[in-house]
Amino acid sequence: MNDLDLFNCRRLPARLTIEQVALLLGFQVYEILILVRHGRIKCINYQSRNSRKYFHGAYILSLAADGDFVEKASKAVAKEVRENNCKASQDA
């Protein structure tokens, strides 16, 4: 399913990939991984860090409609990226 199909479908699939979730929420894939790691987004099948992650479509739509979630998630991602950048500059 390409991006345009996802936005134009009448009903989302029950199971979404991480790429589809990133598109629907307006985040990058690595940012979704940060949110999963911090427990802000729940996967259907989270078993290990390198397993393929799937998400429930209705759950993701509810998150997309929640402005408070989007704000908090954006701040959490920015904080993590900022911390990682500080560590990287100190190591260099």
Give 14-66 pLDDT, tens digit per residue. Answer: 899 999 999 999 999 999 999 999 999 999 976 677 788 899 999 999 999 99
| Residue 72 to residue 78: CA distance in whole angstroms | 10
Q: In the chain, what are the domain boundaries?
A: 3-91
Task: Write the single-letter amino acid at 76.
Answer: A
Rounded mean pLDDT of 70-87? 93
pTM for this entry? 0.84
| Residue 84 to residue 67: CA distance in whole angstroms | 26
DSSP 14-55: SEEEHHHHHHHHT--HHHHHHHHHTTSS--SS--STTS--EE
The domain defined by 3-91 folds into: Multidrug-efflux Transporter Regulator; Chain: A; Domain 2 (1.10.1660)
Q: Are 43 and 55 in contact (CB under 8 A)?
A: yes
pLDDT score of 92:
62
pLDDT band per the 50, 70, 90 thresholds, residue 12 = confident
Backbone angles phi and psi of 55, in degrees to 5: -135, 150
pLDDT band per the 50, 70, 90 thresholds, residue 3 = low
